[in-house]
Homo-oligomer: A and B are copies of this chain.
Amino acid sequence: MDDDTATEILEATYRALCQHGYASLTLKDIAAESDRSKASIHYYYDSKENLFAEFLDFLYEQFTAELSSVGGNTPREELEALFDTVLTDERATPGQKFRTAMLEVKAQAPYNDGFQARLAEFDTVLFERIREIIASGVETGEFDDAVDPAVAAEFLVTAITGAHTRHVVTDRSTARFNETITRYAETHLLADAPSEATH
């Protein structure tokens, strides 16, 4: 299969996933979103699980590219840009539907080693990127040198993951979670924060 065919099928998978969710998604639904027949998709991928493993790799590439392109003049700006990237307002279609479907996929992780390994990679790459930004902020003196970058990054990844889940469950905007998490970061990481802003 050439790259264009693969990309076409994976983009059709994205659209079909947003429309049907993961549990009831079939190769037929994916074919309906592409110019391919169900038979040809089946020929390439064998099963929904195999196609989905590829799809997670495809998303992972996009995600790492997004995380790498996050930039700013200072570590603080970089961290804010990262929050804007991972906590965009997903009320807009298909964002929320995609996030909902991904929560279904996450619930499959304990039953599918391939999914679990891939989803753990998203978790790790996000952790590493945040740790790196915080460490460079500590180095430049923008962040308090008492901050342990690994501990702060671990906490922030947990909070970001929670924001994604609560957004699906409570239908609240991720923009609101972005605000809370940014506020945490600003008040607990910055060196010499004025005392009224330290909490």
Q: Which residues of A contact B (CB under 8 A)?
A: 21-23, 96-97, 100-101, 103-104, 106-107, 109-111, 116, 119-120, 123, 144, 146-148, 151-152, 154-155, 157-166, 168-171, 177, 180-181, 183-184, 188-189, 195-196, 198-199
Contact = CB atoms under 8 A, between A and B. Distances in A.
Nearest to A197: B146
User: How many copies of this chain sit in the oligomeric assembly?
Assistant: 2
A110 B188 contact: no
28 contacts: A21-B107, A96-B110, A100-B107, A100-B109, A100-B110, A101-B107, A103-B106, A103-B107, A104-B104, A109-B168, A109-B169, A116-B169, A120-B169, A123-B166, A146-B196, A147-B199, A154-B180, A155-B180, A158-B177, A158-B180, A159-B159, A159-B162, A161-B161, A161-B169, A162-B164, A162-B165, A188-B188, A189-B199
Nearest to A24: B23
